[in-house]
A and B are shown apart, each in its own frame.
Chain A
C-alpha cells in the first residue's frame, strides 16, 4: 500500500518542465527524505504524490489506486487518505487554531458534521491532543494570526496528524523553525509514521536532518532523481553534486553526534 511512479513527467502551465521521467517505488511503512536544491522539483513531486497535480506522462499508483483513471468520487476518497503538510501553511489568518486543526478531517466528515463543527467545535479534545504533541496545546482557542511562523507551521502539522492519513507527506515542514525545534518535529513525524505503520515522505532543506532521521534518502536535481539509497550510504561527493548550483550543502547543524544516538525525549502521548 505504498506508492509507485513510473516514467512520470510534468510540465507546469508556464512551460517549466518540473519532472522528467521519474521512477520511484516506495513500500508501505517506508520513511523517505527528499533532498535537493531549491527549484529541483521536490514540491512538484510531493504534489504528484498527494494526487493534487496530474502528471502529463507516466503511471501513478498511490495506496494501491490509480488516481487519474477512476471516478472523481474515488479520487476524493483517495485524497482524504493522503495528508500533505504544505511549506506555506494554507490556513486563513482569521481562523482559530481549533478550527484549522479540525479541518484535517473535512474529507472524512459528512457535510452536516463539518457545518456543525464550525458553529461549535465537535472534537476539541482531538485537536488539543495533536497540538499538545507539538507543544501548542494551550493555544487551542487562539486565532492563527496571533501565532509566529514556526507555530503556524506546527498548527498545519497538527492538522495533518489529526487527519490520520495513510500516506503522510511533508514539504519542508520545519522551514520556519529553529534547529532544536526542527529536530523534535522531524523526529515526531517519524515516530507517528512508525506508530501507525504509514508511509512518510518529507522534503527537507537541511541535509543532516534527513540523514539523521530517515532510513532512505532521495536526491532530486533538475526534476530527476540523482540518487536513491539508504541514508548510511550517502557520501559527501553525492551531496556536493546535488547542491553544486547552491555552492554548499545546507545543514541545520544543531545536533551533535551524541544526539543522533539518543534523540531528545519527545512528547508522544
Chain B
C-alpha cells in the first residue's frame, strides 16, 4: 500500500518551473535588444512608407506574368519534390524514434537498452539534419550542382526530413497507444500495429503537419532562390536588385496564392480523414 498523500504532489514543482520560465524570459528579452518603440519613430515610419509605396502599381505585363507563372510552377515543383525526398528520410527515422511501437517495453525486457540506444542515435541524427539551415545546405549544393532547382530540392529534403521525422515520432508517441499496444500483445508485428492501431488516430494530424511543412517548403524554396536555387526567389532577387517594386508586389501576391492554396488543401484533406 502507498502512503496517503494529502497535498497535490505535483503543485510545488509546477510552481517552481513556472517561476524559472519567467525569470529566464526577462534577460532573454533584454539580450535580444527587443525595442518595439523604434517602429513608431517618425523617420522610420516615413522610410517604411516610401519602401511600401514603391510596390505600387503592381507589374501585370504579359511578359512578366508568363515569367512569374513559370517561376511559380518551378517553386511548387521544388517544394513538392523536396517534401517527397524528405519523406524518404522522415518516415523510417520517425518510426525508429517513437517509443509507441517498442516491443521491448511490453516484454521481453531483455535487450531493451538496444532499443533505447537506437532511439537516442536517431534523435541525434534528426537533430543534425534539421540543425543546419536549408540555406546553408543550398549554398553547399549550389557549388556542386550549379545554379538551379536541384540544389534547392536536396537542401529541402535533408532539412525537412529532420523536422518531419522528429515531429512524426512525437505525434505517434502522443497518440493514444492502447490500440497499438493491444495488437502487439496479441502477437502482431510492429508495422501492422502501426497501421491498424496508431495511424487511424494519428493520420489526420500527420497529414496536416505534412501539408503545413509543404507550405513552409514553398516559402523556404523562395528564400533559397536568393542564393541561386531557382524559382520565385531568384525572380524576387532580380526584381529587388533592380529596385522594381511593382514586380516584387506581384511576386508577393503569388506567394500569398500559394500559401492560401496549401491551407485549402490541408483543410480538404483533414475533412476527408476526419
Bitwise interface map of B from 103 to 122 toward A, beta carbon under 8 Å scored 1, else 0: 10011110000000000000
Give the distance to chain B from A110, nearest Cβ to Cβ, in Å: 9
In the bound assembly, the distance between CA atoms of A92 and B204 in angstroms comes to: 13
Whether B51 sits at the interface, judged by CB under 8 Å, is: no
Do A114 and B195 have beta carbons less than 8 Å apart? Answer: yes
Whether B144 sits at the interface, judged by CB under 8 Å, is: no
Question: A residues 72-91 with Cβ under 8 Å of B?
Answer: 72, 75-84, 86, 88, 90-91
Given contacts A50-B185, A106-B196, A114-B196, contact A90 B2 (CB under 8 A): no
Whether A227 sits at the interface, judged by CB under 8 Å, is: no
Cβ contacts under 8 Å, B69 to chain A: none
A92: nearest residue on chain B (CB-CB)?
Answer: B200
Whether A107 sits at the interface, judged by CB under 8 Å, is: yes
Whether A52 sits at the interface, judged by CB under 8 Å, is: yes
Do A104 and B191 have beta carbons less than 8 Å apart? Answer: no
Give the distance to chain A from B95, nearest Cβ to Cβ, in Å: 14
Q: Which of B106, B107, B196 contacts A118 (CB 8 A)?
A: B196
Do A76 and B179 have beta carbons less than 8 Å apart? Answer: no
Given contacts A54-B109, A79-B187, A84-B185, contact A103 B178 (CB under 8 A): no
Residue tally, chain B, CB below 8 Å to A: 26
Do A77 and B200 have beta carbons less than 8 Å apart? Answer: no
B193: nearest residue on chain A (CB-CB)?
Answer: A106
Whether A99 sits at the interface, judged by CB under 8 Å, is: yes
Do A111 and B192 have beta carbons less than 8 Å apart? Answer: yes
A156: nearest residue on chain B (CB-CB)?
Answer: B182
B202: nearest residue on chain A (CB-CB)?
Answer: A92
In the bound assembly, the distance between CA atoms of A91 and B274 in angstroms comes to: 16
Whether B133 sits at the interface, judged by CB under 8 Å, is: no
Do A72 and B108 have beta carbons less than 8 Å apart? Answer: yes
Residue tally, chain A, CB below 8 Å to B: 41
In the bound assembly, the distance between CA atoms of A51 and B187 in angstroms comes to: 10
Whether B201 sits at the interface, judged by CB under 8 Å, is: yes
Do B183 and A54 have beta carbons less than 8 Å apart? Answer: no
Whether A93 sits at the interface, judged by CB under 8 Å, is: yes
Given contacts A72-B103, A95-B196, A118-B196, contact A79 B186 (CB under 8 A): yes
Do B201 and A94 have beta carbons less than 8 Å apart? Answer: yes
Whether A163 sits at the interface, judged by CB under 8 Å, is: yes
Question: A residues 95-142 with Cβ under 8 Å of B?
Answer: 95, 99, 103-104, 106-109, 111, 114-115, 118
Do B186 and A92 have beta carbons less than 8 Å apart? Answer: no
Give the distance to chain A from B131, nearest Cβ to Cβ, in Å: 34
Given contacts A90-B179, A95-B200, contact A107 B186 (CB under 8 A): yes
Whether B82 sits at the interface, judged by CB under 8 Å, is: no
Do A88 and B178 have beta carbons less than 8 Å apart? Answer: yes
Given contacts A54-B107, A94-B200, contact A106 B179 (CB under 8 A): no
Question: B residues 148-204 with Cβ under 8 Å of A?
Answer: 178-179, 181-183, 185-189, 191-193, 195-197, 200-201, 203
Do B197 and A92 have beta carbons less than 8 Å apart? Answer: yes
B3: nearest residue on chain A (CB-CB)?
Answer: A15
In the bound assembly, the distance between CA atoms of A76 and B179 in angstroms comes to: 17
In the bound assembly, the distance between CA atoms of A132 and B263 in angstroms comes to: 44
Q: Which of B107, B179, B195, B274 contacts A75 (CB 8 A)?
A: B107
Give the distance to chain A from B40, nearest Cβ to Cβ, in Å: 50
A160: nearest residue on chain B (CB-CB)?
Answer: B186
Cβ contacts under 8 Å, B106 to chain A: 52
Whether A68 sits at the interface, judged by CB under 8 Å, is: yes
Do A106 and B108 have beta carbons less than 8 Å apart? Answer: no
Cβ contacts under 8 Å, B2 to chain A: 14-16
B273: nearest residue on chain A (CB-CB)?
Answer: A94
Q: Which of A16, A84, A94, A107 contacts B188 (CB 8 A)?
A: A107
Give the distance to chain A from B165, nearest Cβ to Cβ, in Å: 22
In the bound assembly, the distance between CA atoms of A84 and B193 in angstroms comes to: 16
A residues at B contact (CB < 8 Å): 14-16, 50-54, 67-68, 72, 75-84, 86, 88, 90-95, 99, 103-104, 106-109, 111, 114-115, 118, 163
A-B contact pairs, 9 of them (CB 8 A): A15-B2, A54-B108, A79-B186, A81-B187, A90-B182, A90-B197, A99-B196, A106-B192, A111-B191
Q: With A90-B181, A95-B200 given, name 4 new contacts (CB 8 A).
A: A81-B187, A92-B200, A92-B201, A108-B187
